[in-house]
Amino acid sequence: MNVVATSIFVLLFLLITVLGFVSAHWRKGDMSHLHEWGLGGRRFGAWITWFLIGGDLYTAYTFIAVPALVFGAGALGFFAVPYTVVVYPMVFALLPRLWVVARRHNYITASDFVAGRYGSPALALAIAVTGIVATMPYIALQLVGIQVVIGGLGFPTGHGLMGDLPLFIAFVILAAFTYTSGLRAPASIAVVKDLLVYVTVIAMVVVLPAKLGGMSSIFAHVPKAHLLLPPIKNGNWGLQSFYATLAFGSALALMLYPHATTAVLSAKGPNTLRRNWVWLPVYSLMLGLISLLGYMAYAGGIDKLPDLAPYFKQYGPQFAMPGLLLHYFPSWFVGVGFAAVAIGALVPAAIMSIAAANLFTRNIYKAFINPQCSVQQETDMAKLVSLVVKFGALLFIVVLPLTYAIQLQLLGGILVLQTMPAIVSGIYTRWFDPKALLLGWAVGLGWGIWAASLSGFHKSGYALHIAGQVIPAYIGLYAVILNIAVAVAATLAIRLLGMANDSDATVAADYVG
């Protein structure tokens, strides 16, 4: 065990644990109300919202997975950078309007909005179930980030009860402060998390090039096939089309995940959100630097170093970023860097579990099981479900092989994209019929799952053969295009038959403010 690194890691972990529990008394509200527990009372200002949304969208798995993908697959791994740039203009146009209507009608989730906008409990249920299912493996992968760094500290993770004990402890801490403090806990911890991440990343991108002979030397050690995407050849667009569609599809999916909606609806107002969207691309700059760590690991050949080879055998390319820390930095800084990853896992995992709990409570429990539940019963159910969700995520990585969790997360992005037509179109228009949207959702979902199953859920791409061209693209994007096409055709048919449902609990003025 790396005693110095472990001591620093534990000290910082204890700091955020205390902070998580104390957060219940920060901007104190009546925690028996779901909007107080699950949305922080919708009172987070510009700075807290900036840290919360940044901590929500740029997760610990990002810090682990992006360098790993660049290390293993090369240039394809940089798709994460343009997708986090593309997403901000879209959310700038959409999510402030969602905040306004949600505030006026006390909507807690996107499914609440869909139920009110379309007057369709079935469509709202479909959106809620999709969001919960897509979120579960995403939470599991945050815990994978903790598992990797705990292994790097010297604990034999994945080898019986003692190996998984640190992960169980982290899970219990996460469950406890989320249960007591709700969204206030990850909001306050996000500030500490971001400071640690920025310190770690800046130190790595300054120190590592100096140790590896400069950036020119790093790029010289990376083969051309790793630096560039292969060109379009003989009508096969290959990674060129897949890269672009993966970036664009991921951008669309990111703003639809329940945890993103939860973070957005917790803001003080639409102007708070707009100011955040202007400055959040700073995280994209950091993400570009994090991506370069994959090339630094490749140039340093860290997977072949004797002291790191056992870790790579167990964790594969996911140990690229932790491996750089272990090999090139003193133990005390390894503790800081590993704590940044672990705390970076707790923030989004907490928000995700709260988001899933809000969806279940509002759009399944209250809508179908106990419509007459009191305010206190509603909040108590959300707290209980948040524990169940985290426990389910823990089972993902303790019981199932790690690769299964990753494959399920790829599928999660495909699934959550199918909620886009109902949510995004509803923010601006009521033209679509809910029955048509439900049919489009089912078709897009079914096709997406089928296309992903062709590779045994190992790949997220599907090659479309058309007019002599082979166009591989992100399955989720193809599926949502099919979804929209079906919804448009079905809406036209339903309106032609005079069977349209124009029920709407909102009015045009509800979206302006």
pLDDT along the chain (513 residues), means of 10: 90 90 78 90 89 83 86 91 89 93 96 97 97 88 83 72 72 86 90 91 95 95 93 92 94 92 94 88 89 95 90 87 95 94 88 95 96 95 93 76 64 93 96 97 97 89 94 96 98 96 94 86
Q: Which two tokens stand for residue 420?
A: 């886009």
Quick one: tokens of 198?
A: 């920025």
The pLDDT value given to residue 400: 67
DSSP class per residue in 381-428: HHHHHHHHHHHHHHHHHHHS-HHHHHHHHHHHHHHHHTTHHHHHHHHH
Beta bridge mates, 236:
233, 470
> Residue 187 in contact with residue 23, Cβ under 8 Å?
yes
CA distances from 137 to 101, 283, 412 (A): 30, 24, 7
Q: For the beta carbon of residue 14, count every other beta carbon within 10 angstroms.
A: 11
Q: How many CB atoms lie within 10 A of CB 400?
A: 14
Residue 473's H or E segment, with its range, is: strand 469-474
Count CB-CB contacts under 10 A for residue 46: 16
In angstroms, the CA 356 to CA 390 distance is: 10
Q: Any idea where the domains of the chain sit in the sequence? A: 3-21+42-232+246-402
Cα 113-114-120 angle, rounded to 5 deg:
130
Task: Give me the pLDDT at residue 436, please.
Answer: 98
Exposed, middle or buried, 121 (CB in 10 Å: 0-12/13-18/19+)? middle
For residue 226, give both structure tokens.
Answer: 């790793």
Residue 383 CB partners (closer than 8 Å, separation 6+): 37, 179, 357
128 φψ region: left (φ > 0), alpha (ψ -120 to 50), beta (else): alpha
Cα 473–chain centre separation: 21
Pick the CATH number of 3-21+42-232+246-402 from 3.50.50.60, 1.20.1730.10, 3.40.350.10, 3.40.50.300: 1.20.1730.10
- The structure tokens 């815990």 sit at 143
Category of 305 on φ-ψ map: left (φ > 0), alpha (ψ -120 to 50) or beta: beta
Answer for the pair 340, 196: CB distance below 8 angstroms, yes or no.
yes
Residue whose pair of structure tokens reads 């019986």 in the numeric block: 160
Separation between Cα atoms, residue 37 and residue 379, nearest integer Å: 7
Closest CA to 70 of 358, 371, 394, 291: 291
> Please, which residues have CB within 8 angstroms of residue 409's CB and are 6 or more apart in sequence?
137, 138, 140, 141
Angle between helices 160-181 and 375-399 (to 10 degrees): 160
For the chain, state the CA radius of gyration.
23
Any residues with CB less than 8 A from the CB of 374 and at least 6 apart, and which? none
Largest pairwise CA distance in the chain: 72
Q: Which element (helix H / strand E) includes 493?
A: helix 475-496
Helices marked H in 329-401: 331-360, 375-399
Residue 283's pLDDT is: 87
Strand partners, 462: 473
Q: Report CA torsion sign: 61, 63, 64, 65.
A: positive
Return d(Cα 113, Cα 426) in angstroms, integer: 9
- DSSP structural state of residue 202: H
Query: For residues 300 and 277, is the Cβ–Cβ distance under 8 A?
Result: no
Which one, of 119, 200, 166, lies nearest residue 438 by Cα? 119
Do residues 463 and 239 make contact, with C-beta atoms less than 8 angstroms apart?
no
CA distance 382 to 57: 22
**Sequence-distant (≥ 6) Cβ neighbours of residue 109 within 8 angstroms:** 128, 131, 258, 261, 262, 355, 358, 359, 362, 363
Burial zone of 43 (CB within 10 Å; 0-12 exposed, 13-18 middle, 19+ buried): middle
Closest CA to 69 of 223, 226, 276: 226
Burial track 157-186 (b if 16+ CB lie within 10 A, e otherwise) = bbeeeebbebbeebbebbbebbbbbbbbbb
